[in-house]
A = this chain, B = another copy of it.
């Protein structure tokens, strides 16, 4: 069980995103996801351990892509401020490009029980790690204040981006999100700059 891969694996994950975005977390029954994916209820359990595993895997796959794309474009020649601008811009860009996914990650998946939320935090660690790398680089290059607390600074970046995106989703994604990247970047950089 739980032997990932096969075309149905992705079918089911995409179906889950669609169903959760359209019907909400608490109305996303396994049978509804199965129907949307075009498979039988039981088939779900050939690809996933249980319902929670669908959601964890969904987050894993999507968040993996999310961070990978950011890392890919974070070339060494960029300045630390350019790197942050890239990160913030891509963070907003990617979520704006897939509003279903934005709804799912910003609103719906947070209604999950504490256990699933712990797992989601595990998955997020890779992103937080990237943030800490950038912060450390900024400090050692003398660009950021030397006494910056990595944990707090990282929480400030993530907390801010997350809050901005969540508010945008709660306003039905009806204004442009990417255009907030520059002002947010400006405030954060001033906050860290030496």
> What is the distance, in angstroms, from A60's C-beta to the closest C-beta of chain B?
19
CA distance A152 to B167 in the complex (A): 10
> What is the distance, in angstroms, from A116's C-beta to the closest C-beta of chain B?
10
**A193: B residues at CB distance < 8 A:** 190
**A160: B residues at CB distance < 8 A:** 155-156, 159-160
* Interface residues in A114-161 (C-beta closer than 8 Å to B): 114, 117-118, 121, 148-149, 151-153, 155-156, 158-161
> What is the distance, in angstroms, from A127's C-beta to the closest C-beta of chain B?
13
CA distance A118 to B111 in the complex (A): 13
> What is the distance, in angstroms, from A173's C-beta to the closest C-beta of chain B?
14
CA distance A188 to B184 in the complex (A): 12
CA distance A152 to B187 in the complex (A): 9
Residue A15 is within 8 A (CB to CB) of chain B in the complex: no
> What is the distance, in angstroms, from A131's C-beta to the closest C-beta of chain B?
12
**Cβ 8 A contact of A164, one of B111, B148, B155:** B155
**Cβ 8 A contact of A113, one of B26, B159, B163, B190:** B26
> What is the distance, in angstroms, from A169's C-beta to the closest C-beta of chain B?
10
Residue A183 is within 8 A (CB to CB) of chain B in the complex: yes
CA distance A193 to B187 in the complex (A): 9
Contact A24 B163 (CB under 8 A): no
**A188: B residues at CB distance < 8 A:** 156, 191
Can you sample 11 A-B contacts with CB below 8 Å? A111-B114, A149-B180, A152-B183, A156-B160, A156-B164, A156-B184, A159-B161, A159-B162, A159-B163, A160-B160, A190-B190
